[in-house]
Chain A
Amino acid sequence: DGGITQSPKYLFRKEGQNVTLSCEQNLNHDAMYWYRQDPGQGLRLIYYSQIVNDFQKGDIAEGYSVSREKKESFPLTVTSAQKNPTAFYLCASSRAPGSPLHFGNGTRLTVT
């Protein structure tokens, strides 16, 4: 079955460390997205990529970085510059303009 795999499901880091969240899809979708979810705030877009080797900042990109070297993969790095990194991170992909998003099951990051 096709889908999006996010790993790990839970991640714990010390403050000041960079951490990379994995996102892999086998849906052959061109577009991929990273969202951050906080209680009561819904989903906020961090970065998105429409094609390989290209990506754009979303609404809350500060303190995050991404790469898109392969169509299937869109890893997100949470850097030490992100002031409040503890959150639930969701990766998604879509086939075409206006198509629904397919989501992974998320990674819950806790930074102490």
Chain B
Amino acid sequence: AQSVTQLGSHVSVSEGALVLLRCNYSSSVPPYLFWYVQYPNQGLQLLLKYTTGATLVKGINGFEAEFKKSETSFHLTKPSAHMSDAAEYFCAVSPEGTGFQKLVFGTGTRLLVSP
């Protein structure tokens, strides 16, 4: 069964600093990988996804993530944090090629951005 581990329930950065949110997964087959963002009292919004092809994936709001099969990781980065990036971020995994899939979510990382 697949699982997702997000290291750090909270990450604090200063405005303008690098953002790094970690995600490791376990899956018996090549997975599809996703990052979602959630603002308070709202649903989740897709940031980016990896299915096949280029392992460096660019998403919305300047975020990107790199799929590293050897490390079973899909860490999310942004070169320069903005106050509006403060939110909760979820990594999710879905095994490829097995029909409609139930995404498995990590427990989330809350990003705090200070001025």
Contact = CB atoms under 8 A, between A and B. Distances in A.
Contacts of A104: 43
A45 interface: yes
A97 B36 CA distance: 18
Interface residues of B, number: 26
Nearest to A49: B100
Contacts, number: 63
Contacts of A100: 34, 46, 49
Secondary structure call for the A interface = strand
A40 B51 CA distance: 27
Nearest to A88: B41
B44 A103 contact: yes
B115 interface: no
Given A98-B32, A100-B34, A105-B42, A41 B101 contact: no
B43 A97 contact: no
B63 to A, nearest CB: 15
B96 A98 contact: yes
